[in-house]
């Protein structure tokens, strides 16, 4: 039976400002997305009927609750496909970590089924389909390494950053619930000041190729809220900042954090420094990755 395998990259948020709560319960944001080289592998196989989702890790108790399942169901319904699909997910991206792993998997299912069944879905239609699945999914079908996101993240504009970025990325070994972090943000009544949606932040990022300027502009409005939910996250950020002498920022609603480097060599050295300077008992459950901008074209 015909099959196709795709790479589903993770993302980080270089900038994330929460602009306010919407009537539907979601929040309007202004963010800068970046695809990174940490990725899942998605294999989609055409089968006579039905949808099956398997993985090398437990992703949901009920397969029908998985966003990859919902993506396949959406394509089959929208395009009246008479056959089914079997989806196998090889997970590398930590789950509930602010890295968009589930959203990226869903986007890969949309794009993979388009190719597998020769649907020739337009980019605009693909983004519309992606938006029905989740706020981050449209970014992963956009095809850009960097983009600004507004609304709930679905209103996208590609960015030409002019350079590739390297990251030291730390997943601390525990998940972070997006809903709870946003509720904490609302509960703590943060003033909507400082960076705002009116600032042409994408233009600023795009116009600066000086590394120190890009690094200085890293920002996440949800960081304090995430720390209020998981106090240990604050300790981890403080320890990494002290050990690396770098600005460390949360991705999305967490729990992953990252810092930037000019080169892969510098990032690898920083990873070694973590192992030397931070006790094993503290980082026992950490996953530490050296990653770069995904498919950056110079």
Reply yes or no on whether the pLDDT at 191 is more than 80: no
Confirm whether 136 is a catalytic residue. Answer: yes
3-class secondary structure per residue, the chain: CCEEEEEEEEEEEEEEEEEEECCCCCEEEEEEEEEEEEEEEEEEEEECCCEEEEECCCCCCCHHHCHHHHHHHHHHHHCCCCCEEEEEEECCCCCCCCCCHHHHHHHHHHHHHHHHCCCCCCHHHHHHHHHCCCCCHHHHHHCCCEEEEECCCCEEEEECCCCCCEEEEEECCCCCCHHHHHHHHHHCCCCCCCCCCCCCHHHHHHHCCCHHHHHHCCEECCHHHHHHHCHHHHHHHHHHHHHHCCCCEECCCCCCEEEEECCHHHHHHHHHHHHHHCCCCCCCCCEEEEEEECCCCC
Of 40, 114, 136, 221, the catalytic one is 136
Is residue 17 flagged as an active site residue? no
Q: Which residues 6+ apart lie within 8 Å of 144 measured at CB?
A: 35, 156, 158, 159
Place 197 in a pLDDT band, splitting at 50, 70 and 90: very low
Which domains, ranges and CATH numbers included, belong to the chain?
3-159 (3.30.230.10), 166-292 (3.30.70.890)
Structure tokens at 175: 């998940």
For the chain, give the number of residues: 298
Model-level pTM? Answer: 0.92
User: 11, 17, 70, 230: which is the annotated catalytic residue?
Assistant: 11
Residue 192, pLDDT score: 45
Average pLDDT estimate for 25-33: 92
pLDDT digits (tens, 9 = 90+) for 243-294: 999 999 999 999 999 999 999 999 999 999 999 999 999 999 999 999 999 9
The tens digit of pLDDT for each residue in 70-115 reads: 999 999 999 999 999 999 999 999 999 999 999 999 999 999 999 9
Residue 202: pLDDT band (50, 70, 90) is low
């Amino acid at each position: 039976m015909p099959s196709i395998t795709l790479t589903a990259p993770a993302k980080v948020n270089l900038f994330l400002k929460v602009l306010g709560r919407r009537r539907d319960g979601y929040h309007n944001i202004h963010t800068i997305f970046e695809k990174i080289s940490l990725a899942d592998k998605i294999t989609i196989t055409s089968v006579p009927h039905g949808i099956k989702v398997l993985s090398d890790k437990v992703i949901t108790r009920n397969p029908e609750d998985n966003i990859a399942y919902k993506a396949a169901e959406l394509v089959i319904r929208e395009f009246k496909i008479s056959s089914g699909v079997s989806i196998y997910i090889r997970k590398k991206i930590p789950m509930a970590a602010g890295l968009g792993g589930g959203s990226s998997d869903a986007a890969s299912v949309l794009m993979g089924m388009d190719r597998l069944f020769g649907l020739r879905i337009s980019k605009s239609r693909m983004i519309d389909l992606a938006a029905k699945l989740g706020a981050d999914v449209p970014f992963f079908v956009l095809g850009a390494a960097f983009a600004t996101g507004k609304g709930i993240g679905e209103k996208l504009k590609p960015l030409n950053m002019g350079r590739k970025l390297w990251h030291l990325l730390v997943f601390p070994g525990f998940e972070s619930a997006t809903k709870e972090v946003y509720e904490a943000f609302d509960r703590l009544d943060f003033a909507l000041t400082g960076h705002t949606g009116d600032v042409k932040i994408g233009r600023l990022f795009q116009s600066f190729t000086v590394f120190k300027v890009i690094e200085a502009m890293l920002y996440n409005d949800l960081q304090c809220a995430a720390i209020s939910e998981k106090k240990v996250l604050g300790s981890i950020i403080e320890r990494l900042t002290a050990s690396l002498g770098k600005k460390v920022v949360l991705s999305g609603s967490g729990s992953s954090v990252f810092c930037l480097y000019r080169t892969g060599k510098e990032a690898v050295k920083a990873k070694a420094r973590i192992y030397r300077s931070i006790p094993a008992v503290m980082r026992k459950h950490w996953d530490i990755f050296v990653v770069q901008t995904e498919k950056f074209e110079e």
